[in-house]
Amino acid sequence: MKRLWLLLSQSVTVLLAAYFVVATLQPDWLQRGATRSGAGISLIEAPSSTSAQPAAGSFSGAARKAAPAVVSINTSKAVRHPRSNDPWFQFFFGDQGTQAQTGLGSGVIISPDGYILTNNHVVESADEIEVTLTDSRRARATVIGTDPETDL
């Protein structure tokens, strides 16, 4: 019985290994209905929608209507290593100076005056804040207020 179990487990292991090798090196052998592009990438087309109406419960209409109010937020700040004042750290690593740290987030325009609501961790201690609108316009921004407890 022990030999039979050993033979079965080894057979399953070899078959699984062969499957993964084929799936990695020749995935088109396993996919039916997929086509390959000139770059060797498998392309699988989604079924075409026959109706012009969105599916029931779809948020596509709401997303399309709200999209102009969504902005991208790029931040940067100058950061010094926490041990940069330590003489031993300076002996081994030298003066590191300040390094620029960048961040990325999103926000929503909530008023005609241009007030934007975003998370506190996106703009927290940022030296420069740049906002990019959906039409690729850019503007500098300043923090008016934050609430770290609710992360707004």
Domains of the chain, residue spans: 2-35, 68-141
**Residue 53 CA neighbour count, 13 Å, CB half:** 3
* Three-class SS of 101-120: EEEEEEEEECCCCCCEEECH
Res 144: pLDDT: 94
Classified as helix, coil or strand, 2 is helix
Output the six-digit token pair for 88.
């031993």
Across the 152 residues of the chain, what is the mean pLDDT of every consecutive 10-residue run? 91 93 81 60 68 78 90 92 80 83 93 93 93 93 94 89
pTM, two decimals, is 0.57
- CATH T-level topology, domain 68-141: Thrombin, subunit H (2.40.10)
Partners of 129 in the β-ladder: 75, 141
Output the six-digit token pair for 13.
């292991």
Res 40: pLDDT: 61
CA atoms of 114 and 135, how far apart (whole Å): 15
